Amino acid sequence: MTGIETPVVLSSIPKFETQNPSISIDVLVYEGKELIPVYTWKFCNQRPHHANFLLLSKGDKFHYKLVTSLSRLVRGRTCHNGTTFVCPYCLHPFSLEHCLQNHLPECSQHPAQTVTYPTEGKNILKFDKI
């Protein structure tokens, strides 16, 4: 924690990871009923210790809450009963681990992103030029 002020702001997390080469961190925020990854360690599978945090804020105050299971946090995004394997970059849940492993090389090349689902009534796709 050398040179890192507390409370730790989001911009100081890369410095913390540099000083602690065995730890990687991801930070999510909950905004407008959506989970959004705001900071993702690019090589999350290459360090022995990994932590996911949910950043809660109210006004100018904020607090990091440890997420012990991404699978439980995003459970509502899938009909799968049981543990899912969640992509840290887009938070898409996969029911099989090899599906996540196939997805990660492509998704990790992009910045963290969020998936936006269509709103009720606008979720119909029609072809008008047959």
pLDDT of residue 88: 86
What would the 3-class secondary structure string for 71-83 be? HHHCHHHCCCCCC
Provide the 3-class DSSP secondary structure of residue 15: helix
Mean of per-residue pLDDT scores for the chain:
85
112: which 2 tokens?
């963290």
75: which 2 tokens?
């459970």
Mean pLDDT of the 38-61 span: 84
pTM summary value:
0.77
Among the listed residues 38, 17, 41, the one whose alpha carbon sits nearest the alpha carbon of residue 27: 38
Q: How far apart are CA 75 and CA 95, in angstroms?
A: 11
Over 80: is that where the pLDDT of 109 sits?
Answer: yes
